[in-house]
């Protein structure tokens, strides 16, 4: 019975079902990425020297970027930030930009 209902739903509303599944997958990927960073902050980061040159820290920046821009774009922004976090960069205050400031109109 459930299988028959699902077949009917997919046949009559394929875009709605696809959209809902893609939204669920997107939210799962976002949660997984953020939880991975949080595990790093709790399990690995305490055993490393405090070397982040920025405020907020690179891991906090990554979480905020993923929450604001999504997994793909937020991860790229975080990777760029991590690459800048080195002894040759002065560091300082570098927050995640607002979402509308990076969009092309």
Q: What are the pLDDT digits (tens) for 43-95?
A: 999 999 888 889 999 999 999 999 999 999 999 999 999 999 888 989 899 99
55-59: long-range contacts, CB 8 A cutoff, minimum separation 24:
55/91, 55/92, 55/93, 55/94, 56/95, 58/82, 58/85
Tally the domains of the chain.
1
pTM, to two decimals: 0.74
Q: Is the pLDDT of residue 19 over 90?
A: no
Domain that holds residue 9: 2-101
């Amino acid at each position: 019975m459930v299988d028959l209902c699902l077949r009917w739903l997919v046949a009559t509303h394929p875009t709605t079902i696809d959209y809902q599944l893609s939204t669920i997958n997107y939210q799962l990927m976002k949660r997984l990425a953020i939880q991975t960073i949080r595990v790093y902050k709790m399990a690995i980061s305490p055993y490393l020297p405090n070397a982040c040159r920025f405020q907020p820290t690179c891991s906090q920046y990554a979480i905020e970027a993923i929450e604001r821009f999504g997994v793909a774009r937020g991860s790229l922004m975080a990777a760029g930030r991590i690459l800048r976090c080195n002894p040759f960069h002065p560091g300082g205050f570098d927050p995640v930009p607002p979402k509308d400031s990076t969009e092309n109109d």
